[in-house]
Amino acid sequence: MSDRTVAARLASVLPGRVVAAAARAVYPRFEPELARLPDLCPPDCGTAVDVGGWYGPWTHRLAARARRVVTVEPVPRLARLLAAGAPPNVRVVRAAASDRPGVARLWLPPGDRGERGVSSLVRRDIHGDAVDVTCVALDGLGLTDVGFVKIDVDGNELAVLRGATGILTRDRPALFVELEARIQPVGPVVTHLSELGYDGWVLPAGDWIPLSRFPLEAHQARSCHVATHGLLRRVLPRGLRYVNSVLFLPDGRRPGGPVRDDGARADRTTPR
């Protein structure tokens, strides 16, 4: 029995609020970038967006840093759980983010209610069940002063970004995007964001390095066995780390460095 199965089975029998609290507590060890939130999200962030909220580890931390948080979560059970336990400055949108509004099929593993966090509009071999969900484009949500967007959508990243073109052009937010070469090629997302003036950064150890100096797809090919481990094994303080998230910053910005652009954010800085 894998750790992933153990965690999923526990999640299916424990109260949702207990599972959510446990997930939020351990997640910074699973995704250490979350513990480095000051490097990612400007301290005076007006609106932060969490696309793919799951049990809310990013939503809750962002709520303590941004004036407003909008969380987009398509799995009905998870969206209800998030809304019930969210801080007052959080708005939960029960929908899947994509490039246009409408209805689409959300794919999940057989018997999964969202616990594993691998639901997607892009079907792959682990998926067997589906539910129809509402789709939204981020540009259609009426968001203003967006300073940070986190995207974890298991293969639908490019569509989400295309649906946020207006926000990216107007507000120039920092983007934290999960990219999995085993699900979709990484290149199209990197190229799309490069054309919009964004450069990627990764955190394989203690320091941020440019994505251009880190062979992400080769690294994932070498360490893909780690990605098959469940959350319980991956939070243990040992073994190889599997890097699958990239911080994209616009206009020459660096993690923890000054925000430089010609708009309303010209004098904003993030702490080192």
Supply the pLDDT for residue 24. Answer: 60
CA distance 210 to 220: 16
Joined tokens for residue 14: 């424990």
65 assigned to some structural domain:
yes
237 assigned to some structural domain:
yes
Give the model's confidence band at 27: pLDDT under 50 very low, under 70 low, under 90 confident, else very high.
low
* Three-point CA angle 115, 148, 255, nearest 5°: 105
Supply the pLDDT for residue 23. Answer: 63
107 assigned to some structural domain:
no
Strands 102-108 and 129-136: antiparallel
Q: Which residues pair with 82 in a beta bridge?
A: none
CA distance 268 to 107: 40
Mean pLDDT of 66-88: 94
159 assigned to some structural domain:
yes
168 assigned to some structural domain:
yes
* CATH code, domain carrying 198: 3.40.50.150
List, in order, residues 6 or more apart from 18 with CB less than 8 Å away: none
Inform me whether the pLDDT recorded for 193 exceeds 70: yes
What is the full DSSP assignment across 59-109? HHHHHTTSSEEEEE--SHHHHHHHHHH--TTEEEE-SEE-SS-EEEEEEE-
Give the burial string for 22-44 (b: 16+ CB within 10 Å, else e). Answer: bbbeebbebbebbebbebbbbeb
101 assigned to some structural domain:
no
243 assigned to some structural domain:
yes
| Structural domain that includes position 10 | 3-95+138-250
Supply the pLDDT for residue 114. Answer: 76
Give the model's confidence band at 30: pLDDT under 50 very low, under 70 low, under 90 confident, else very high.
low
Number of structural domains the chain divides into: 1
127 assigned to some structural domain:
no
